[in-house]
Chains A and B, each alone.
Chain A
Amino acid sequence: MSLLDLQRQMAADLMRPLAPGDRLNPKTAAAYIKPNDRLTSRERLEIYSKSYWYRLLDSLYEDFPGLRAVVGQRAFGKISQAYLTDRPSRSWTLRNLGSQLEEWLRLYPAYAGARLKPALDMIRLEWAHVEAFDERADAVLGPEDLLELGPAMRIGLQPYVRLIELQYPVDDLRVKVSAASDDHGTASNAVLKRKTGGLVRRISRMKAEHIFLAVHRLDFTVYYRRLEAEEFRLLSGLRAGLPVGEAMEAAIEESPLGVEELRGRVETWFAMWAEMGWLCRWQS
């Protein structure tokens, strides 16, 4: 057996799902793995198989606590296993493991049942969280750079600022989930039970709400900041590389706000973005 064939065989075997019905045929493992005086060939291979599944399931578990809260632990386990079976990791880093989860769940909506829409929103938010944590930060535009601000100028948005639209207020929920998780090491069982119960009630009562969100970081901590629709569109336009004038026109096109009010808000937004270091030089 060539090196490539052996590695293909072993990868296929250790990436098989762990369910009892999927257990490897002993003859398959025995064909290329030696037994020893304590373990069969299959048992030796299963050490690697279990390690593979625990490592990858753990990684999704850590990256998507909000999704766990939305769909429940049991459904989350099924989603994770099915997703990893269908979309094995294609990256050298586990950081990217959840990058296709939203797309995958759209193809297999039954896994999320009645909570599909908030589940998709939560995945989008949690993936943006992963990106905001370690994306690049470019040199910040200072006040002197903004003095030359004109309609033909292009301004960049920091790569770590992620702009997303949501149909449900999953940002609030994700903050609560994180807080409950942080409390886990210190709070009493009674307090934890009360908080967990509160989360379940919050999810079951969650009502649709159109939200524009910036997921960004400050002092290396990821934050969520809700945006006005016009602010979101303006930032999206800047990110797409539109000159400031065109981005503003696109942003206010459907706005019910008056020109004067919009002008004031735009000034406030730019000042705030500059203060938070969101603006940088535009790069094609």
Chain B
Amino acid sequence: MPANRFNGFTDYGIGVGLRIPHYQHILEKKPVVGWFEIISENYMVDGGRPLAILDQILEQYKVVQHGVSAYFGSAEPLNRDHLRRLKALVKRTKTPWLTDHLCWGSVDGRYSHDLLPMPYTFEAAKVTARKVREAREYLEVPIAVENVSSYAEFHESEMTEWEFLNEVVEDADCGILLDVNNIYVSSRNHSFDPYEYVNSVPPERVAQIHIAGHSRFQKYILDTHDHPVIDPVWKLYEHAIKRVGPTATLLEWDDLIPSFDEVHAEARKAEKYLVAPALVTP
């Protein structure tokens, strides 16, 4: 299952999120890294240092685009300027697949710049799936949607989060970027079984997996990407890999960023789970 139509039939291994504090190290030391994930919006500019650095990275590494502003779940239409710039970047990076979040973030043209949670309704699933399809047709690249961490639930919801995810990806016929840390965080915040979530995801649609660290507060857990991955998340990851097969895996580390070697070493802990897992069915 590692190579499927949702990740462009690629067989990528372990990747690391490309972050500004690591630019110099990467360009000078040229570490051996499976692939880099970039935040698309950081490079959707007309010129300057971001694109110059990206071009140097592209000369030596495989790059996959991960977006934060498509807002497939917003009730309003896709932003045409965002899409146009995203397509230009897709042509530049030749990303084999593209990911963004299963969330909303804008309404009436006002932007929250956050990954806001969806009400799990059939109407929301329909709107979201339609926008994913529109984006894919325009961008001409496979799209996978990522489950987000959330801190609120809506009275309006008509199904569980994993049922909503399945509803959207089946309707849109798109892939899944399965973030096991986000599943863990939300399971703690909303008191559900994270294994039930993983077991409910259609394995054939998983294009990529995210792992990350988070911060624990007294009454909730926040998805901060500023710590190493904790053991319960590694265990959930192990379970996910057994279920979906060795899948392109990316470590996110966005705040209190340590040295590149430290981040890379943390990502490479995934290796032991990726080597020939015995596939299981729930």
Q: Please report A residues at the B interface, Cβ cutoff 8 Å.
A: 1-4, 6-8, 10-11, 14-15, 31-34, 36-39, 41, 43-45, 47-48, 51-52, 55-56, 88-95, 133-137, 159-160, 217, 220
Structural contact, B46 and A159, CB atoms closer than 8 A: yes
Binds A, one of B29-37, B58-66, B116-124, B132-140: B116-124
Q: Interface size bucket, B side? A: 35 or more
Residue in contact with B110 in the complex, picked from A3, A15, A45, CB distance below 8 Å: A15
Contacts of B121 in A (CB 8 A): 3
Q: Decide: B106 and A51 in contact? CB cutoff 8 A.
A: no
User: Nearest B residue to A30 by beta-carbon distance?
Assistant: B155
**Known contacts A92-B81, A94-B113: A36-B190 contact under CB 8 Å:** yes
Chain A-chain B contacts (Cβ-Cβ < 8 Å), number: 119
Determine the chain A residues whose CB is within 8 A of the CB of B109 once the complex forms.
Answer: 90
Sample (16) of A-B pairs whose CB atoms are under 8 Å apart: A3-B124, A3-B127, A6-B154, A7-B75, A11-B107, A11-B112, A31-B155, A32-B156, A34-B154, A47-B151, A52-B112, A90-B110, A90-B111, A133-B48, A134-B50, A160-B47
Find residues 81-140 in chain B having any chain A CB closer than 8 Å to their own CB: 81-82, 104, 106-114, 116, 119, 121, 123-124, 127
The listed residue with most B CB atoms (<10 A of its CB), out of A3, A6, A135, A220, is A3
**Which residues in A have their C-beta under 8 angstroms from that of B50?**
134
Question: Are A88 and B110 within 8 A (Cβ)?
Answer: yes
Contacts of B152 in A (CB 8 A): 33-34, 41, 44-45, 47-48
A88 to B109, CA, bound (A): 9
| 7 other A-B residue contacts (CB within 8 Å) besides A7-B104, A15-B112 | A2-B123, A3-B75, A3-B119, A34-B152, A38-B219, A92-B81, A95-B45
Nearest CB to that of A221 among chain B residues? B49
Contact, CB under 8 Å: B48 / A89 = no
Q: How far is the CB of A128 from chain B (nearest CB, A)?
A: 14
3 closest A-B pairs by beta carbon, nearest first, are: A136-B46, A220-B49, A134-B48
Q: Mark B195-228, 1 if CB is under 8 A from A, else 0.
A: 0000000000000000000000001101000000
The answer on a CB contact under 8 Å between B52 and A220 is: yes
